[in-house]
């Protein structure tokens, strides 16, 4: 049972320097209670795709496609309907906890807002529920924290507050954009534990956007790999790590430091070259300029997604794990 169906999502920005194609015909579905990992380098369009679902992009963005949730096409729903879905049925946790909270209001106020707006709770009830939520995300001394301002909390705690705010109305989908990137490694582990916990206890479907493969391996059920605004590969998590098909995925895995593998003195394999500018994509496969398997066909034709193994899609003319 899929809770979200996205078809041919495309996002384009009209800028002074021309058109930038941030996302190109992305399609996927998200199942109930599923944790979907979305992986790719910075600028590959992963954040933009999901922000476009809730129409959080600036006015210069042109969004096409279809995103079906609960019988509604998110991209075309009237603003009032969308506002009732935002924060209540689909919640977003942003990347920068430092700046994503309003410095002028207490933390409890900002969480309580969501409860009062969507669930109609009174101030007293909202406060009690807020404290419960803070406990849920494992913030110590929640009765005290409720009355504090964002600048009084550490980065890790602010991120937890953001998560609490997102979970306030028990959403069906939680989209977490790089939830651990701005945090120390030790804090990261705690947040990931929390994510697992949330899925177990609350049954929320989670989309985890990250550039960190380690995070994905830890928590996700299924993974989508994006490159230059397009989906390069999609597979269940174990399958992806065991049998990576796309050369980009292979490159990413090769670049992950793993003690013991390839010898302790082995050099990390990098992917040569740089991510192309989204304003001027190459003609054929977007990855061709950097791909060790590139040939004339890949340089002139854009590969479409094909299922090469059960439940395993890849957009490549020469799929297969590296030797």
Nearer to other proteins, 38 or 240 (CB): 38
Check binding of 238 to other proteins (CB under 8 A).
Answer: no
As a three-state string, the secondary structure of 23-50 is: EEEEEEEEECCCEEEEECCCCCCHHHHH
Q: Binding residue for other proteins (CB under 8 A) from 56, 275, 294, 302?
A: 56
Are the C-beta atoms of residues 82 and 90 closer than 8 Å to each other?
Answer: no
Check binding of 83 to other proteins (CB under 8 A).
Answer: yes
Are the C-beta atoms of residues 248 and 228 closer than 8 Å to each other?
Answer: no
Q: Binding residue for other proteins (CB under 8 A) from 152, 277, 283, 300?
A: 152
CA–CA gap between residue 312 and residue 178 (Å, rounded): 24
Check binding of 19 to other proteins (CB under 8 A).
Answer: no
Check binding of 92 to other proteins (CB under 8 A).
Answer: yes
| Total residues at interface with other proteins (CB under 8 A) | 32
Nearer to other proteins, 121 or 162 (CB): 162
Check binding of 5 to other proteins (CB under 8 A).
Answer: no
**Beta partners for 90?**
86, 173
Check binding of 277 to other proteins (CB under 8 A).
Answer: no
Are the C-beta atoms of residues 199 and 183 closer than 8 Å to each other?
Answer: no
Which of these ranges, 6-14, 144-152, 180-188, 282-290, lies near other proteins under the rule CB under 8 A? Answer: 144-152
In the numeric block, which tokens belong to residue 27? Answer: 């399609």
SS3 of 27, please?
strand
SS3 of 133, please?
helix
CB atoms within 10 A of CB 2: 14
Check binding of 118 to other proteins (CB under 8 A).
Answer: yes
Q: Binding residue for other proteins (CB under 8 A) from 15, 122, 154, 280?
A: 154
Check binding of 84 to other proteins (CB under 8 A).
Answer: yes
Q: Binding residue for other proteins (CB under 8 A) from 1, 71, 78, 103?
A: 103
Residue 209 CB contacts under 8 Å (≥ 6 apart), including other chains: 38, 46, 47, 50, 175, 176, 177, 178
In the complex, which residues of this chain contact other proteins (CB under 8 A)?
Answer: 54, 56, 83-88, 91-92, 94, 96, 99-106, 113-114, 117-118, 148-149, 151-154, 162, 165
């Amino acid at each position: 049972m899929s809770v979200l169906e996205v078809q041919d999502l495309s996002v384009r920005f009209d800028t002074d320097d021309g058109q930038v194609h941030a996302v190109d015909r992305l399609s996927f579905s998200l199942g109930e209670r599923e944790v979907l990992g979305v992986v790719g380098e910075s600028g590959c369009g992963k954040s933009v795709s999901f922000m476009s679902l809730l129409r959080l992009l600036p006015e210069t963005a042109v969004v096409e496609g279809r995103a079906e949730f609960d019988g509604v096409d998110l991209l075309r729903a009237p603003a009032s309907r969308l506002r009732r879905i935002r924060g209540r049925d689909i919640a977003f946790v942003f990347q920068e906890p430092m700046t994503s909270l309003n410095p002028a209001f207490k933390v409890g106020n900002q969480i309580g807002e969501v409860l009062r707006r969507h669930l109609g709770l009174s101030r007293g009830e909202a406060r009690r529920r807020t404290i419960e939520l803070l406990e849920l995300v494992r913030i110590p001394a929640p009765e005290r924290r409720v009355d504090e301002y964002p600048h009084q909390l550490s980065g890790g705690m602010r991120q937890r507050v953001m998560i609490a705010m997102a979970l306030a109305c028990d959403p069906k989908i939680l989209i977490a954009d790089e939830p651990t990137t701005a945090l120390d490694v030790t804090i990261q582990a705690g947040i990931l534990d929390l994510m697992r916990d949330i899925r177990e206890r609350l049954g929320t479907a989670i989309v985890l956007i990250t550039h960190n493969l380690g995070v994905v391996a830890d928590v996700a059920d299924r993974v989508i790999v994006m490159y230059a605004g397009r989906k390069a590969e999609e597979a269940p998590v174990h399958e992806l790590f065991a049998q990576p098909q796309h050369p980009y995925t292979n490159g990413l895995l090769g670049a992950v430091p793993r003690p013991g593998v390839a010898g302790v003195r082995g050099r990390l394999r990098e992917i040569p070259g740089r991510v192309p500018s989204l304003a001027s994509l190459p003609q054929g496969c977007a990855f061709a300029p950097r791909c060790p398997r590139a040939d004339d066909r890949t340089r002139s034709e854009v590969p479409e997604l094909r299922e090469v193994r059960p439940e395993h899609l890849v957009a490549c003319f020469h799929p297969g794990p590296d030797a």
